[in-house]
Amino acid sequence: MEIVRLNNVNKWFGKNHVLKGVDLSIQKGEIVALIGQSGSGKSTALRCMDHLEIIDEGEITVCGHTFGPGISRKELKSLRLDVGIVFQSYNLFPHLTVEQNITLAPRSVRKTPKAEAKKIAAAVLAQVGLSDKLDFYPEQLSGGQQQRVAIARSLAMDPKLMLFDEVTSALDPQLTGEVLRVIEKLAAGGMTMVLVTHEMAFAMKVAHRVIFMHQGKIHEQGGADILRHPQTPELRDFISNGL
C-alpha cells in the first residue's frame, strides 16, 4: 500500500529551482532515508509532504490526501492528522510540563477527553523511555530528552506517517544515540518513516531505502548497500567527505 507519492514535483525559492521534477513512491511500513549535501532539496522534499512548503508544480499524495500547489483548509487539517513531523529544534512549549505538551494536540485537535489523553501521554512517554519525566518542564531536560518528548508528542496523535528532519543535528554523539534508539524502536514496530539525516551508519542500519538527492533531483537510490558501493561519482564524493 502506497503512503507517499510525489509526481513531477517542482519547487522554487525565488529564482532558485530547489526541487526539479521529483518523482517518489513510499510504501506502508517502509523506512526511507533522504541524504545529500545542504541545498540538495532533501529537507524541502520532506516538508512538502506535510504541505509546510507549498509546491509550485506537480502533485503529492500522502496517506490518501492528494494536493498540488493548493489545498483546502479542511483537507490540510485531515492531512496533518495523519502525519507526524519532528524537527531539529524541539519546539516544546517551555511553560507546559512534558505531559501538558503531549496532551495539548490530542485534546484540542482530536477532542480527546482529558483522562484518555493522560493515558496516551503515559504510553508514548514509555515508548521513548521517559516515563519518569511526566511532570518535568522542558528546561529540566537534556537536549536528547527534549527531542524524545517531541517524538512522543507526534506519536500521541497516532500518525500513519512520521517525518524526521535532521532531528539529531543539534545533539552531541551521546544524545544522538538516545534519539536514534527511539527511532530504531519505531522502525521495528512497523511505523512508516521518512528521515532526512546525516547519520550514514544509522541510515545503513534502519532504512529500507536510501535516497541520495543532488541539485534538486533524486540522483541515486537503493538499499543501504548504495552507501558501501555508490554507483555515481557524486554519491562517492559525498560519502568520502564524511557527511
Query: What is the per-residue pLDDT for 242?
Result: 60
Binning the chain into helix, strand and coil, the percentages to the nearest 5 are 40, 25, 35
β-bridge pairing 65-67 and 57-62: antiparallel
Domains of the chain: 2-89+161-240 (3.40.50.300)
Q: Reduce the DSSP state of residue 167 to 3 states and report it.
A: coil
Residues 6+ apart with CB under 8 A from 87: 150, 165, 166, 167
Report the distance separating Cα 154 and Cα 124, nearest Å. Answer: 9
Strand order of the sheet with strand 217-222?
Answer: 83-86, 161-165, 192-196, 31-35, 209-214, 217-222
Cβ-proximal residues to 74 (8 Å cutoff; 6+ apart), any chain: none
Number of alpha carbons in the 13 Å side-chain half-sphere of residue 122: 6
Catalogue the E-assigned strands of the chain. 2-13, 16-27, 31-35, 57-62, 65-67, 83-86, 161-165, 192-196, 209-214, 217-222
What is the Cα 221 distance to its own chain's centre? 18
- Report pLDDT digits (tens) over 57-75: 999 999 999 999 989 999 9
pLDDT < 70 regions, the chain: 242-243
Task: Please tell me whether the overall predicted TM-score, pTM, comes out greater than 0.85 for this model.
Answer: yes
